[in-house]
Structure 1
């Protein structure tokens, strides 16, 4: 079945789609509410009927990216061949592939956090934090299921490598940094597989 055309979508969904396109492409500060309304093909009044403020819209923008992004990481992991170390590296390899697309603008959660660094209580900051923690928790679960010792600590190390790769790729526009981070992540996990602590 074909996806609904834009004209068939409810106004709220059109606004969120437009916010997703514009905020991700240009940043949350650079995009006005008027620009989002115009891109969505709705009036500003209609936008404010669904969202009380731009801050609410920014929060919804990140919320809309949460589950799709987590599902993508899960798909990359599950579809990879090899052991758990190979599967962890595969996430980084796929991330590098995605980063080579001309429309790639980095991690929307990290970019938004950078723009809101002086507003730690902003609802979007809480959503971004929850997203990152959800990925870390999911990864720890995968490691635990594969009998990796101290999976929470290893997951945190991998998250640090991933967010470092996101940031460095954005600075240098070089996806090879994600591939290198993937090799480091694989090495960390592989060392746990090959030399588990005494039980």
Structure 2
């Protein structure tokens, strides 16, 4: 879709995605987003009543694409459920090697809003993480694991730990280590389920 064919709201969200992800939500002004979207500040406020609503919209716009990407990586991987799960971590590691990679936008936003637990963007981030956990639970149940919800929760903890640790150390190898650990957890669970 060309820039001119995109709706004004989509252009604003695209600008917010680029700037909030690249620089952080507190560092980016509404003026900067309006400029990047090539709209007036008044037009931006027509679509988003406040910066808080724009931050919420930014995260909501990342929800389904991120979940779809994880599902794509999982489905494209060969092997057992353990190998498919590890593949998600390995792909995170590959992406983390890109110079523009800034970690998980949901975690970074939650960290910036740590003193505002009732912020609507925090709720969007929490819902996103729960959707990923539920998606994993479904996959593990279909694979016959006896405790799919507990395994999924462990994998989510590993994933968020990998995102955070990579960001702190700037070392994508932490995703590989987390993927190997995820594989071991699932293999152990598969053995126990037999």
- Residue 194 of structure 1: aligned partner: 191
Residue 141 (structure 1) aligns with: 138
Aligned-partner SS, 1:82: coil
Instruction: Please state whether the residue corresponding to 2:4 is helix, strand or coil.
Output: helix
The residue number in structure 1 matching 2:90 is 93
Structure 1 partner of 2:24: 27
- Corresponding residue SS for 2:193: coil
Asked whether 1:150 is paired with 2:147, we answer yes
1:166 match: 163
| Aligned 1:50-69 pairs, distance under 5 A | 50-69=47-66
Q: Which residue number corresponds to residue 75 of structure 1?
A: 72
Q: Which moved more, 1:100-109 or 1:188-197?
A: 188-197
Partner of 1:183: 180
SS of equivalent to 2:144: coil
Cα RMSD for the two superposed structures: 0.8
C-alpha distance in structure 2 between counterparts of 1:53 and 1:70, whole Å: 27
Unaligned 5+ residue runs, structure 1?
A: none
Indicate yes or no: 2:107 matched with 1:110. yes
1:196 positional shift: 1.9
Indicate yes or no: 2:119 matched with 1:131: no
Report the TM-score when normalising by structure 1. Answer: 0.96
Give the distance between the partners of 1:48 and 1:96, measured in 2 at CA.
Answer: 37
Q: Which residue of 2 aligns with 1:14?
A: 11
C-alpha distance in 2 between matches for 1:172 and 1:194: 34
Match of 1:49 in 2: 46
Aligned residue-pair number: 194
Distance 1:149 1:75 in 2: 25
For residue 36 of structure 2, what is the aligned residue in structure 1?
39
Instruction: Give the alignment partner of residue 121 of structure 1, picking from 118, 123, 131.
Output: 118
SS in 2 for 1:148: coil
- Aligned mates of 1:82, 1:15 — CA distance in 2: 41
Matched residues in 2 for 1:9 and 1:172: separation?
Answer: 38
